[in-house]
Amino acid sequence: MSYAYLFKYIIIGDTGVGKSCLLLQFTDKRFQPVHDLTIGVEFGARMITIDGKQIKLQIWDTAGQEAFRSITRSYYRGAAGALLVYDITRRDTFNHLTTWLEDARQHSNSNMVIMLIGNKSDLEGRREVKREEGEAFAREHGLIFMETSAKTAANVEEAFINTAKEVYEKIQEGVFDINNEANGIKIGPQHSPTNPSLPSGGQGGMQGGGCC
């Protein structure tokens, strides 16, 4: 299956907020009611369409447990998008957002698109974080915001797709250097760049010697 672009995403946030469930709902359209603690990192992928173009999303679902923090940090650098998830029924997961955001900003490339997600919107009765609070946090830190439910699938597609739209727009605006793989973006095999003067990328050596 050929694609126009490939985007790499990471999903981050406290343990138990529903990161793995969001990914599973997005890739397999299933919900997993039992907490299956993620060990390290798990991979998932799906194709979406934006603006008539096939876009492949490669998603790394990270472990929220503190013990895995140093491992999961290795994934920030190469990602084009990040879903930062909290649980609307657990205020502590919302309170930790600042730490997560600092961590992400410190280790990622500056153009990474971050989508803030308040998950478990189906549990309205147990809500501890108001929707407005999520919105305000997102506004303050320049993030996109959505409330989702990995259980009912509400807004799950939208969360992944809207993040991709944002990345796509940044590409159109020329913000992202699509020839630098460290940005988490690849051009599809059959879609060599429209600009014929761009190098094809097969040339080694450029990256290695850059720093000197």
Ligand X SMILES: Nc1nc2c(ncn2[C@@H]2O[C@H](COP(=O)(O)OP(=O)(O)OP(=O)(O)O)[C@@H](O)[C@H]2O)c(=O)[nH]1
The answer to the question of residue 72 lying near ligand X (CB under 6 A) is no
Positions in 15-34 near Mg ion (CB under 5 A): 19-20
- Tell me how many residues contact Mg ion (CB under 5 A): 3
DSSP state for residue 33 in the 8-state scheme: -
- Tell me how many residues contact ligand X (CB under 6 A): 24
Q: Which stretch binds ligand X (CB under 6 A): 28-36, 131-139, 167-175, 202-210?
A: 28-36
- DSSP for 41-59, please give it: EEEEEEEEEETTEEEEEEE
- DSSP for 97-109, please give it: HHHHHHHHHHHS-
What gap in Å lies between CA 94 and CA 121, rounded to an integer?
Answer: 14
- Compare residues 108 and 149 and give the one whose CB is closer to ligand X: 149
Query: Over the range 28-59, which residues count as b (16 or more CB within 10 Å of their CB) and which as e?
Result: eeeeeeeeeebeebbebeeebebeeebbbbbb
Q: Which residues bind other proteins (CB under 8 A)?
A: 1, 8, 40-45, 56, 58, 60, 70-71, 73-75, 77-78, 107, 181, 189, 202, 204-209, 211-212
Binding site for ligand X (CB under 6 A): 15-21, 32-38, 63-65, 119-120, 122-123, 149-151
